[in-house]
């Protein structure tokens, strides 16, 4: 049986709308834009500022050590210098269940929370941040468990083995279709009982103003809720756009031609092969003792392989289940297109940053050629292409977006697109997905990403991006290195702005921790 279930895209969209009372009459009559916010941190609005980026956190102790806490301690010396923290998704593993927030989020990041000196007293749905903490949804924040799992857990050998060796922090609840994340971070107005109370809430917390109307005022130490699952804010002349990529990552359908049928059979065969590989790994796990430090490290490696197998299976299932007309969250993509155009037509804006979970470009071994990766790439490219065509000469020689931040791939990676033939050319990408959940290896195929363009007859395959830095798992046995990471980004004055990227790394080598900062680079 499947241990993980995922709500459909229409369900994700509708449930999130209900939780924030999307376009409620009182919200409309108040002239409120539910996708914008203003960070009111009472600090100078300077064109030079810094922020931190983390992603793929939310996991527990691994055989006596806590990588996520190691990363939090890397962040602490930078806390006073940085204006906010961006989180690229997968806040809680494995299924975003609310009972794991205390140990897997509140405890590791206690210094970033009001009352963090006593983290056990903080409820996951009552968190207030003393430094703005601005996440987006990852796929694990939407995952659930089947009802039958609750009845069968512990009663079958396969389930016992899966839960033991895959470190499945599932519990009894799952995310409830993203509800736990929404209660932890969003302005969950659905919980407000009366119309009068809702009006008082809006009058208290939606007091900021932008060109699109009234919006939420994010006040560190006071009120630290996000307006929606996707949103935008401006800081130091930079427009930030936070997206929910879980609703536009459906793979394109397999062709109905003979070639499509061959692809389907190959996918089904691959799924059977990895099922067998999974059983073989579980058999190896049975022979290892988690109380032995050396064997515990071997178990950790095998568990990481099981994680990867599970992700490959999910991607295969998405491809096999893809419809002739995949469901795409056009409402969000149209919003992004329109807001980017507005941003370019606003004179005080000098740069743009987008962040979301699934990376369009990546060389991590399990993600680079996933169907979901290509789906996100093509849909983002479609948006940027429309923006470019609308703006014309206004953008001159600049890319439409200065920087894109992602997670999902368990690594720290810096990539840059070359001339793709589309409006996503010459864009900088930083993947910060190595902040807590088992870092992954880079693919053996190398650092150049190629893409096949079926509509081009001559030279249909060409390079689209280069990986310029990769920090992930490497080596084997006594030479194994497991680096966990985050990044500090310093924004400099000017138009276009410069971004100084400072990778921060906590590395585990031979059961010892070593912390260091890599050489900064400018983009």
pLDDT greater than 80 at residue 217: yes
pLDDT greater than 70 at residue 229: yes
pLDDT greater than 50 at residue 261: yes
pLDDT greater than 70 at residue 98: yes
Tokens at residue 166, please? 């895959």
Q: What is the pLDDT of residues 37-51, one digit of tens each?
A: 999 999 988 999 999
Q: What is the pLDDT of residues 274-295, one digit of tens each?
A: 888 888 888 888 888 877 777 7
Distance of alpha carbon 416 from alpha carbon 418, whole angstroms: 7
The answer to whether 208 touches 37, Cβ cutoff 8 Å, is: yes
pLDDT greater than 60 at residue 454: yes
How much is the pLDDT for 298? 77
Please tell me the least confidently modeled range out of 261-270, 289-298, 304-313.
Answer: 289-298
Q: Which residues touch 438 (CB under 8 Å, ≥6 apart)?
A: 59, 62, 300, 303, 304, 307, 410, 473, 482
The answer to whether 383 touches 336, Cβ cutoff 8 Å, is: yes
Distance of alpha carbon 179 from alpha carbon 19, whole angstroms: 8
Closest CA to 315 of 228, 389, 373: 373
The number of helices, as runs of H, and strands, as runs of E, in the chain is 12, 18
Q: What is the pLDDT of residues 473-511, one digit of tens each?
A: 999 877 889 999 999 999 999 999 999 999 999 999 888
Please tell me the least confidently modeled range out of 114-118, 196-200, 251-255.
Answer: 251-255
More confident residue, 149 or 209: 209
pLDDT greater than 60 at residue 147: no
pLDDT greater than 70 at residue 164: no
User: In Å, how far are 12, 155, 283, 299 from 159, measured between CA atoms?
Assistant: 27, 7, 13, 17
How much is the pLDDT for 123? 97
The answer to whether 104 touches 86, Cβ cutoff 8 Å, is: no
Q: Is the dihedral of CA 205, 206, 209, 211 positive or negative?
A: positive
Q: Which residues touch 158 (CB under 8 Å, ≥6 apart)?
A: none
pLDDT greater than 70 at residue 76: yes
- CATH architecture designation of domain 9-250+327-522: 4-Layer Sandwich (3.60)
């Amino acid at each position: 049986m499947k241990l993980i279930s995922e709500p459909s895209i229409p369900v994700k969209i509708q449930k999130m709308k209900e939780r924030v009372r999307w376009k409620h009459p009182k919200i409309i009559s108040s002239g409120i834009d539910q996708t914008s916010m203003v960070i009111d941190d009472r600090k100078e609005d300077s064109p030079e500022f810094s922020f931190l980026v983390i992603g793929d956190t939310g996991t527990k102790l691994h055989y006596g050590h806590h990588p996520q806490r190691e990363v939090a301690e890397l962040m602490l010396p930078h806390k006073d210098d940085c204006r906010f923290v961006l989180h690229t998704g997968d806040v809680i593993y494995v299924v975003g269940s609310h009972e794991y927030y205390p140990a897997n989020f509140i405890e590791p990041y206690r210094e970033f929370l009001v009352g963090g000196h006593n983290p056990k007293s903080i409820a996951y749905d009552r968190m207030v941040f003393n430094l703005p903490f601005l996440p987006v949804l990852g796929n694990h924040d939407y995952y659930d468990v089947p009802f039958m799992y609750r009845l069968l857990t512990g009663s079958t050998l396969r389930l016992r083995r899966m839960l033991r060796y895959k470190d499945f922090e599932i519990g009894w609840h799952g995310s409830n279709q993203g509800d736990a994340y929404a209660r932890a971070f969003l302005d969950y107005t659905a919980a407000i009982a009366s119309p009068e109370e809702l009006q008082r809430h809006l009058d208290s917390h939606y007091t900021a103003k932008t060109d699109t109307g009234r919006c939420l005022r994010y006040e560190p130490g006071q009120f630290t809720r996000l307006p929606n699952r996707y949103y935008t804010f401006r800081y130091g002349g930079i427009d930030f756009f936070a997206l929910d990529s879980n609703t536009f990552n459906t793979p394109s359908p397999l062709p109905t031609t003979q070639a499509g049928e061959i692809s389907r059979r190959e996918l089904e065969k691959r799924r059977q092969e990895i099922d067998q590989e999974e059983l073989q790994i579980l058999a190896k796990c049975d022979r290892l003792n988690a109380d032995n430090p050396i064997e515990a490290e071997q178990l950790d490696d095998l568990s990481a392989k099981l994680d990867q197998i599970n992700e490959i299976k999910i991607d295969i299932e998405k491809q096999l289940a893809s419809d002739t007309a995949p469901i795409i969250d056009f409402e969000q993509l149209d919003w992004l297109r329109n807001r980017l155009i507005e941003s370019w037509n606003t004179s005080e804006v000098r740069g743009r940053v987008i962040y979301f979970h699934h990376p369009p470009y990546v060389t991590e071994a399990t993600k680079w050629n996933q169907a979901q990766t290509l789906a996100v790439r093509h849909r983002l490219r479609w948006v940027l292409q429309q923006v470019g065509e609308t703006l014309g000469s206004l953008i001159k020689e600049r890319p439409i977006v200065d920087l894109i931040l992602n997670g999902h791939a368990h690594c720290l990676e810096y990539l840059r697109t070359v001339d793709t033939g589309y409006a996503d050319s010459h864009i900088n990408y930083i993947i910060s997905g190595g902040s807590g959940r088992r870092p992954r290896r880079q693919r053996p195929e190398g650092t150049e990403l190629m893409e096949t363009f079926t509509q081009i007859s001559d030279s249909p395959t060409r390079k689209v991006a280069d990986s310029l830095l990769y920090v992930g798992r490497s080596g084997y046995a006594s030479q194994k290195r497991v680096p966990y990471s985050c990044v500090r980004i310093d924004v400099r004055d000017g138009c276009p702005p410069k971004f100084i990227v400072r990778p921060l790394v906590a590395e585990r080598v031979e059961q010892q921790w070593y912390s260091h900062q890599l050489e900064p680079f400018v983009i």
